[in-house]
A and B are shown apart, each in its own frame.
Chain A
Amino acid sequence: MIKKINRYCLLNDDQPERKELFIELRRNLYSPALVASCDFIPPEHPLMKDAITLSDGFEALTNGMFNEEALQDVKKISSTSLLAPWSALISGVHRFYASDYEGCLNDIEGIEEDTAPALFKPFFSALLNSSGKIPSGSIVPDTASPEALSQQWKELKESILENTRVIDDSLDLIQEAVSMEDLLLDTAGLLVRDIIKEDRESACKILLWCFEQLQVKDMLSDRAVSKGRSLFGDRDGYRLAALASISFDPDRSLLYWLHSLQAFLDSRNTNRNSVQAYLSIIRDMAESVEQEFELTEEYIQLTGSLVSDIAESIGHIYPELPETRDLPEDPFRAIRQLCGEQVQPQPQRKVREVKTAAVQLELFAF
């Protein structure tokens, strides 16, 4: 191979042998680093420049040190270069590491046929399509199953993917613990902590699934909500509790939404669209709760206290909003006003005599 690279560099562009070598090297050159290591190619030779850019880029990429600047350099490689197919491969591998699997497959499928990097096509196709990582509409036909891959591709797969057995075992344990709240929350908590940094969405889904299982049996306990807050922070912990209880316990869900919004406002990292989105959800929940439930005086007072705190925080962050001023005492009317609605005179509301607290008081403690 080295001799052929040497011969290729010595020949002029218009010599037929060079064209033949070009085709052969594109088909068989398995590493730009091989070209970069050829001492006989001068540093200023375009092929050497391309080889260094690509081999350095690929080394950085596969060691987790790649950056946008390096990617741009790789993309600048001319399409007529002997090493051009490596540019598309590196872009595809970059997307693979960024979990952009559809983009990865597009880049890999775009590699010129009859070149060495094009040999990665079946590998990526099997790796991504058969693992369900690509929307069904974009699945590449004739996908090989990972089991059908040849030994070298299996070894590569094992080298570039973490062993997922720990996750599989943890999910099995969660499933088995479904009837034991403490064990369920602890087992889920361990897995969530393990994956939350790199895959927050799946972590959310796992906790939400656990909350749903607990809701089916009984209302969501304080311990469960506290677990959510300790794992995801107050804002998302309460939000997940609110989502889990939205159909089972709308009155409790409303309170969790209010807590989540308050935590969001306390973070001081807000934007008006998100605050308004929160308020829209809270308004919808409040409307449903007000219509469908006979509320205790205690519940109304505590809701009012939360709404009042939220209005104060919103007024502080967005002083230009008139809706936060002169709020009605009734929390449901106050919520409508915060949403910018015209507030009608207060209707007569049925209030239930309080014997025991309908909602646990701990919910309202900040």
Chain B
Amino acid sequence: MNTMDIIDSRIDPWEILGVSGDAGDREIEEAWRKRSAGGGNRDKIHQAYKMICGERERAMYRLLSPGTPENLKDIKDGMPLRSRYSGPGVWYSALKREVERTLTDRDGNPE
């Protein structure tokens, strides 16, 4: 596939093939065969496979990524959650209250 084909495709080949970003050639080929045999849009599955079937192709796709986002909201939605380390106490405390609530709901009699 040439550069503009990849730019214009606007697909995530890893997602279409259902493989992780660090999948190797063999895993990708197996996923392609499995998905092709399982129905679905075969053209799209094949296109996704061609995009990432080898290391060079994957490097090319990554160089051409990310595609230009449509709007800032899409970017925001795609951002990972900004997690914070706050110790085990908040987890235990929340669970304790949920356990107590469940007991109350079940028996009307918290321990």
A positions within 8 Å CB-CB of B: 1, 27-28, 30-31, 33, 55, 58-59, 62-64, 93, 96-97, 99, 101, 116-117, 119-120, 123, 127-128, 131-133, 135, 150-153, 155-156, 159-162, 164, 167-168, 171, 174-175, 195, 198-199, 201-202, 204-206, 208-209, 212, 239, 243-244, 246-247, 271, 273-274, 276-278, 280-281, 284-285, 288
> Which single residue of chain A is at the shortest CB-CB distance from B12?
A135
Q: Output the residue of B2, B56, B94 with the most chain A CB within 10 A.
A: B94
Query: Is B72 within 8 A of A161, CB to CB?
Result: no
User: How many A-B contacts are there with CB distance less than 8 Å?
Assistant: 161
On chain B, the number of residues with a Cβ less than 8 Å from chain A's Cβ atoms is 48
Q: Which listed residue (A116, A123, A162) contacts B82, Cβ 8 A?
A: A162
For A117, the chain B residues whose CB sits under 8 A away are 95
Query: Is A119 within 8 A of B81, CB to CB?
Result: no
For B83, the chain A residues whose CB sits under 8 A away are 96-97, 99, 160-162
- A sample of 6 cross-chain residue pairs with beta-carbon separation below 8 angstroms, ordered by A number, consists of A116-B95, A150-B98, A150-B101, A159-B90, A274-B63, A280-B3
A195 to B54, CA, bound (A): 31
CB distance from B8 to the nearest CB of A (A): 9
Q: Which listed residue (A1, A128, A206) contacts B75, Cβ 8 A?
A: A206
Q: Which listed residue (B3, B55, B87, B111) contacts A28, Cβ 8 A?
A: B111
Query: Is B81 within 8 A of A99, CB to CB?
Result: yes
Q: Which listed residue (A59, A123, A131) contacts B87, Cβ 8 A?
A: A59
Judge if B93 is at the interface, Cβ distance under 8 Å.
yes
Judge if B108 is at the interface, Cβ distance under 8 Å.
no
Chain B residues numbered 85-101 whose CB sits less than 8 Å from any CB in chain A: 85-88, 90-99, 101
